[in-house]
Amino acid sequence: MTTLLDAPVDTSAWTIGPPRLLAGLDRAERLDAAAHLATHGPLPGSDLRLLLGHLDAARLTGRGGAGFPLAAKLRALTGGARRVVVNGTESEPTSRKDRTLLRRTPHLVLDGALAVAHATGAREVAVAVHDERSAESVRAAAAERPDGRQVRVHLTAGGFVSGEARAVVRALDGGPALPPGRRTPPTATGTLVSNVETFAQLALLLRLGPRRFADTGTHAEPGTALLTIGGAVARPGVVEIPLGTPLGIVLAAAGAPVLPQAVVVGGYHGSWLAPLPQLRLGREGVAAAGGTFGAGVVLVLDGATCALGELATVTGWLAAESAGQCGPCRFGLSALAADVAALAAGRPAVAAAFGHARTVDGRGACSHPSGAARFVTSGLHLLQDEADQHLAYGGCGRPVLGQLPVGGAR
Amino acid sequence: MTATLSVDWTRCDGHGLCAALLPDAIVRDEWGFPIVRAGAVDASDEADVRRVVAACPALALHLEQR
C-alpha cells in the first residue's frame, strides 16, 4: 500500500443534533488549549473508581470497530497499567473520524487518555498514528499542557492489518507492525489500547457525568458516535450523530440519492446492507440488520455504478492487504478475489466464492480474513440478482465508478 | 477447564502432520493448512493430542486450558 503522507485528507465535519465531540469546530479549524477550555470547560479530577462507575453507567464501548467495553479493559489490568496507547492509526481506508479528532480537537483525545493514565498509574501515554499531520497536531497540543510531558507520539508504518491493537503495540515496542500469532491481549502486559474516539468520548463523559451523557442516544447505547460518510453523497465527511439515528435521516442529510442501490456499513470488514431508512445506526441497530457497526463508516452506492465490480475491486484490495504471514489468509483471500472478479466478468463462481469465504473465516492471527469473508458474503447475498444478470449477459453495462474507494490520502 | 486446540497461523506452514495423526479432528484445506473441526479436546484424548502438539515441525499447535 502506498501511504501518501502529505496528501490532504478531507476532515470536513457536520453534525445531526447538537455537537459534542465536534463542538466548537463550526467556528474554528482547530481548537488549541485556550479554545478547547472555552468550548468544553476544565476536565474534572477523577480516580479509577469514579472512572469505572461512569464507564459502566454510560456503557462506553471502544470505537475502533470491535466495540469492547472500556470498563472491562480497565478491569483486566489487574497489575495496574504501564502504558496507555491511543490507537490513531485509522487503517480503515475510508474512515476519517480519528484523524479529524486528532487534527482538529486533539485536547479532547488527550484529556481522556491522560485521565486513564492518571487513574491507572500509567506513566506513559503513547499516541500511535500513521500520518505526519495528526502527529504534528498531537505534539503541538501536548506541548501546550502541563501534563503533556507524559505524551509520546509515534509515527508507525503499515497498511490495513497494522492498525489492529496488538500490531500497534508490537510496532511501539520496536517489532514489525503485524498482528502476533498468539492471542494475548495487550492488557496482560499492562498496556491499555483504545481508539481515538473512545478517549474523546471519555473526556465528554467525565465532564457531563453519565446522566447528561445519556441525554442523547438510546437506552442501550447512550451518547453520540462519529460516522464517516462517503460514496455517492453530496456531503461526504465526518458526521456526529446521536447513537440510534435512522439511516434514512443520515442519508437525506448527506445528500444521498433517494433510492441508493446499497450501503456498506462498517467499512471493508463490515457488511453490504439494503439501504433501509429505518436501520438504526449504532452497534445494536446494525447488528439487528445483520451487519456490524465497526468504526462507523457508511458508504453509499447509487444506481449508476456496477456494484459487483465495486465488490470485486475491494475484494482484490483486501487480498493485497493480507500481510501474508498466515497461510489461509494469504492463499484464501487471493482465491476469493479471483472468484469475485470472475463473477463480475460474468463467469459462474458464486459457489466457489462462498466456499472460499467459509474457508478463510476465523483462520488467522487477526480478524482480517474473517472481516473480508463477512464483507464478501454480505455483498454476494445482497447482489444475487446482479450476479445472475452478469452471468446471463456478461455484465450490467455500467462502469465501476469507485464509490467504494481503495487506498488514497492519509 | 476444557483444553482447546488452537493454531498459531503465523507459524503454520501446512506440513500436514497434525491432520495425518489426528484425522478425526483435523482435515486440510485445498492449500494444505489444517482445519480444526472441533477445538475442544476430551480429557481422555488429551495425552494423544499433546503428542501431536509436540510433533508439529513448526511448533504452531497449542493446547490451551480455558
Contact A2, A407 (CB under 8 A): yes
Query: A29: distance to nearest CA of chain B, Å?
Result: 44
The ipTM is: 0.92
Query: Is residue A240 located within the same domain as residue A312?
Result: no
Q: Residue A294 belongs to a domain with what CATH number?
A: 3.10.20.600
Alpha-helix runs per DSSP H in A267-326? 283-288, 307-320
Q: Are residues A196 and A60 part of one domain?
A: yes
**Residue A7 carries which DSSP code?**
S
pLDDT attached to residue A187: 86
Domain membership flag for residue A348? yes
The predicted structure's pLDDT at residue A285: 97
**Cα A131 from Cα B62, distance rounded (Å):** 37
Tally of domains in chain A: 3
Beta bridge partners of A230: A299
How many structural domains is chain B composed of?
1
Q: Is residue A409, in this structure, part of any structural domain at all?
A: no
Is the CB of B10 less than 8 angstroms away from the CB of A326?
A: yes
With beta carbons less than 8 A apart as the criterion, state whether A400 and A302 touch.
no
* Domain assignment present for A237: yes
CB nearest B8 (choices: A178, A182, A328) = A182
Residue A282, classed as helix, strand or coil, is coil
**Residue at A41: amino acid letter:** G
Facing A325 at nearest CB: one of B6, B10, B32: B10
Domain boundary among A178, A213, A248: A213
**Has residue A41 been placed in a domain?**
yes
Q: Which tens digit of pLDDT belongs to each residue from A193-239?
A: 999 999 999 999 999 999 999 999 999 999 999 999 999 999 999 99
Decide: A74 and A56 in contact? Cβ < 8 Å: no
Looking at CA atoms only, how far is residue B26 from chain A in angstroms? 14
Residues A379 and A355 in one domain: yes
Count of other CB atoms within 10 angstroms of residue A361: 17
Q: Which domain holds residue A326?
A: 307-393
CATH assignment of the domain containing A23: 3.40.50.11540
A74's enclosing H/E stretch is helix A70-76
Same domain assignment for residues A290 and A313? no
Confidence of residue A79 (pLDDT cuts 50, 70, 90): confident
A residues 94-153 closer than 8 Å to B (CB): none
- Which residues of chain A lie closer than 8 angstroms to B10, CB-CB? 178-181, 325-326, 365
CB contact under 8 A, B33 and A364: no
Residue in the structure block whose three cell numbers are 449508476:
A304
CATH code, domain carrying B18: 3.30.70.20
pLDDT at residue B39 above 90?
no
Domain that holds residue B18: 3-65
Domain stop point among A301, A323, A345: A301
- Model confidence at A120, pLDDT cuts 50, 70, 90, reads very high
Claim to verify: residue A57 and residue A155 sit in the same structural domain: yes
Give the end of a domain, one of A213, A236, A269.
Answer: A213
Indicate if A208 and A163 belong to the same structural domain: yes
List B40's β-bridge partners, or say none.
B4
Q: How far is A365 from chain B, CA to nearest CA, in Å?
A: 6
Residues A230 and A326 in one domain: no
Cβ distance A167 to A161 under 8 Å? yes
Determine contact: A336 vs chain B, CB below 8 A: no
